[in-house]
Structure 1
Amino acid sequence: MAINQLTEGIGKAFVFDRIRPHLRSYLLKAGIVDVPYSLFGLLFWLSILPVGFMFIFRGWNYILSLEQNIFIQFILALVLWAVVHLLFIFAIILLIYFYIDLKIFNRTKKMEAVLPDFLRMVSENLKGGMPFEKALWSSIKPEFGILSHEIMLSAKKVMTGQDVEEALHAFTEKYNSPMLRRAFDLIIEGMKGGGKTVDVIDRVVDTIEETKDLKAEMAATNLSYVIFVAIIVLLVAPGLFTLSFQFLTVLQGISGKIGGSGGAETNVLPIDFGNISVDPAVFQAFSINALLVISFFSAIMISIIQNGSIKAGVKYIPMLMIASHLVYRGMMIVATNVFAGFIV
């Protein structure tokens, strides 16, 4: 209990009072009801361990190498610790923000996926003679998942005296979804204009379905570009790095044999190999890092081509990174066996 209070107190100390309402509303979008102050405090204490190791094995040796007096060294140690710790905490905050933002995006996409079925059920209830509010609340079903939960929250607001239009408008403004916002805004405007709400809902559903079909056609049309990028990442780039490494190894072997033979015979050759200063191990490390970078940005390109959004393709990033690395390793094994007989 005391540990929980300590971590919660530390967590609240890092979240200013003016930020807390915005943080709570932001976390609600991700389905997180309570602000996890204890988690924030726990992450702060856990961050001390890696920062301490970095300071002991790296920072302190650097401070001692400056050869200053003990007071200056103490001040430098405090400043260095504070800067590194703040940077580490900032990196953790960025990771948490990225995770929550991705969770909000996935929740929004899930609501958009079931929105046509939900509105279709609302339309059926209206055709059965129900008023709009009752038709909306009666359409809340478990199969609609997050959308049902959000509509239920809007229903509770209406029960406490808020107007149904205001409750639905607050729901659509909660998420960054043009589809949700336009659909419910059209329904609300249709109700205000005195038109048939059923006809408006049916047209909205038809429009959403047509939009989804168009997006599917666009994704199918751009499939050739996705295949082209995937071939470059999974075959072309690993193959080129593998051949370059083998060429470097063979060239170093030939250069070493020619340089070791001595005499005037080396001047007969029309090629001057010179001193090859590139280390094959360094080149291999460069190749692996370059493949990771290429895979990262290629996954982003594939996501934009297929879905029009970077967030929707985060799952492709580790897949392409691992696949390209495995292909590179496999090509290296095969190429090493093939080129092994070139230098004896």
Structure 2
Amino acid sequence: MKILDIFQRKLGSKELLTEEELSIIEDDLIDLKMEEATKNVLVKDFFKDPLKTLSINPEYTFVLSIPLALAFFAIGMAATWGTPIIDDVIIFTVLIAITPPSIAFHKKYKRTSTIEEYLPTFLRDISEMSRAGLTLPNAVNTIAKGEYGALTKEVQGMDSAMSWGVSFEDSLRSFAVRISTPIIVRSVSLITQASRAGGRVSSVLEAAARDAREVKLLEQERRGNMMVYVVIIYMSFFVFLFVIAMLTSAFVPTMAEAGKAASAAGAGNQFIGSFDPAHYTRLMLHTAVIQGFMSGLVAGQMGEGSVSLGLKHSIILTLIAWFVFTFLI
């Protein structure tokens, strides 16, 4: 470290520190403070505002939900070991583990979607103010007083950064790092590359706004078309569940009566004579629950382009399957 080298040298020679050495020491001290400030940023942000941190990083919600689910699993297994209720313990253990993350992923998706919707308006407004003669910092400062939905706080953050001397391009890049979606990254890259190449910034911003709006419209159109497949997945699951429920309520009791008749006729060692209706009912429950969980993940991937966003569908379909077999059969 430069600070230690300078002090060791000066202590040996008993000379006063020069201005250059003082500057080096000051720079090193600033670097040390910056390193200390950036250590464990996520942990500090979590204790400062847990909900905001988890909404930005929803995957970290598993750190809270999984221990809670394991505690429920341990208590449930100890209380229901050897009974059919153990199935309910396993089902709700999984649901407890994925419910908080599914809520966090959904909230982040809605927030980023809103930001993407307001992004073209934000860029177009800056372009118009730039044409009117305002500098980019003044334009952002004026726009920060407006309303842009979930994008408003990000604009205010950019305004604060630019008031401290951060350039418009750097503030945009920081924004793209915080809200890293394909549309935002594409727009920021377009603006920064065009600014480096030269030209009127207002024209670049207008082109970026037009591009972001067109990409968002195409994305919304794609999601609208894919929602048909989400409906098909739900309908397929309900048909599957209806068939399984009919088999369980009609076929299994019939097989059980046939097994009793076969046992009475002396055929107890054959398959029909050893038929256990409770065992096959549990097997049908397991089948329906697994089908519901996996169908939900597929619905999220097809409808919203992400398996994590399918967790909410998995929770809904799994609960429906559990409810049908617990209260209706």
Bin of the TM-score, shorter chain as denominator length: 0.5 to 0.7
Q: Name the TM-score, length of structure 2 as normaliser.
A: 0.64
The correspondence for 1:231, drawn from 235, 242, 249, is: 235
Letter in structure 1 aligned against 2:43: L
1:184 alignment counterpart = 188
The answer on whether the counterparts of 2:256 and 2:275 sit within 8 Å (CA) in structure 1 is: no
Distance in 2 of aligned mates of 1:116 and 1:222:
24
Distance in 2 of aligned mates of 1:183 and 1:146:
18
The correspondence for 2:208, drawn from 187, 204, 207, is: 204
- The Cα of 1:233 is off from its aligned counterpart by 0.9
CA shift digits 1:6-48 (9 cap, x unpaired): xxxxxxxxxxx99622434688896349xxxxxxxxx8xx97x
Q: Name the TM-score, length of structure 1 as normaliser.
A: 0.62
Q: Given the alignment of the two structures, is residue 21 of structure 1 paired with residue 41 of structure 2, yes or no?
A: yes
Distance in 2 of aligned mates of 1:318 and 1:94:
8
1:310 alignment counterpart = 307
Distance in 1 of aligned mates of 2:50 and 2:128:
29
CA shift digits 1:297-337 (9 cap, x unpaired): 2111111111211233333233223344455678x55xxxx
Q: Given the alignment of the two structures, is residue 148 of structure 1 paired with residue 148 of structure 2, yes or no?
A: no
The answer on whether the counterparts of 1:238 and 1:328 sit within 8 Å (CA) in structure 2 is: no
Q: Secondary structure at the match of 2:147?
A: helix
Q: 1:255 to 1:130 in 2, by over 3 A?
A: same
1:130 alignment counterpart = 134
The answer on whether the counterparts of 2:230 and 2:299 sit within 8 Å (CA) in structure 1 is: yes
RMSD: 4.3
Distance in 1 of aligned mates of 2:325 and 2:98:
31
Q: Secondary structure at the match of 1:314?
A: helix
Q: How many residues align?
A: 266
The answer on whether the counterparts of 1:299 and 1:317 sit within 8 Å (CA) in structure 2 is: yes
Q: Given the alignment of the two structures, is residue 166 of structure 1 paired with residue 170 of structure 2, yes or no?
A: yes
The answer on whether the counterparts of 1:234 and 1:327 sit within 8 Å (CA) in structure 2 is: no
- The Cα of 1:282 is off from its aligned counterpart by 2.9
CA shift digits 1:161-217 (9 cap, x unpaired): 323322221221123222212212322333333322222222222222222232233
1:249 alignment counterpart = 253
The answer on whether the counterparts of 1:303 and 1:312 sit within 8 Å (CA) in structure 2 is: yes
Distance in 2 of aligned mates of 1:251 and 1:94:
37
Distance in 2 of aligned mates of 1:258 and 1:93:
45
Distance in 2 of aligned mates of 1:116 and 1:110:
11
Letter in structure 1 aligned against 2:115: M
Letter in structure 1 aligned against 2:304: N
- The Cα of 1:95 is off from its aligned counterpart by 7.9
Letter in structure 2 aligned against 1:115: L
Distance in 1 of aligned mates of 2:273 and 2:39:
58
Identity over aligned pairs, percent: 20
The answer on whether the counterparts of 2:187 and 2:211 sit within 8 Å (CA) in structure 1 is: no
Distance in 1 of aligned mates of 2:234 and 2:209:
35
Equivalent positions of 1:325-336 (< 5 A) are 325-326=322-323
The answer on whether the counterparts of 2:187 and 2:208 sit within 8 Å (CA) in structure 1 is: yes
Distance in 2 of aligned mates of 1:303 and 1:176:
20
- The Cα of 1:250 is off from its aligned counterpart by 0.3
The answer on whether the counterparts of 1:172 and 1:181 sit within 8 Å (CA) in structure 2 is: yes
Letter in structure 1 aligned against 2:280: F
Q: Secondary structure at the match of 1:148?
A: helix
Distance in 2 of aligned mates of 1:98 and 1:18:
29
Distance in 2 of aligned mates of 1:18 and 1:131:
32
Distance in 2 of aligned mates of 1:309 and 1:146:
21
Letter in structure 1 aligned against 2:41: P
Distance in 2 of aligned mates of 1:325 and 1:141:
50
Unaligned runs of 5+ in 1: 1-16, 34-42, 59-91, 267-271, 334-344
1:299 alignment counterpart = 296
Deviates more, 1:123-132 or 1:299-308: 123-132
2:277 alignment counterpart = 280
Q: Secondary structure at the match of 2:257?
A: helix
